[in-house]
Amino acid sequence: MPLSGDYVPSSSQWVAEQVAAYERSGGREGNSQLGIPIIVVTCRGASSGNIRKFALMRVEHEGEYALVASNGGAERHPAWYHNLVDEPLVEIQ
């Protein structure tokens, strides 16, 4: 069943802009980070229950995707990680 509810764009402007460009263009724009293809992940916010979207570098193996929560090597998980722990149902574009 598709995720439904109120979509709240990321508070990170570059993330919100990349997702908007990707969706507006059907994936022709905003489709890479540092030259690497991306996917757009849709999930439900753990606290708010709102629909959230973010772009991740595409890590695919034999038709399955790994969502790597490395946060660029930071010591803390990225914000979206906590959403997926609480609500693991996602949609991928």
**pLDDT for the residue numbered 50:** 96
Beta bridge partners of 65: 60
pLDDT in tens, 32-87: 998 999 999 999 999 999 999 999 999 888 988 888 888 888 899 998 999 999 99
Cβ atoms of 53 and 59 within 8 Å: the answer is no
Per-residue CA distances from 73 to 24, 31, 37, 55, 78 (Å): 30, 22, 19, 17, 10
**pLDDT for the residue numbered 5:** 94
Q: Is 18 exposed, middle or buried (0-12, 13-18, 19+ CB in 10 A)?
A: buried
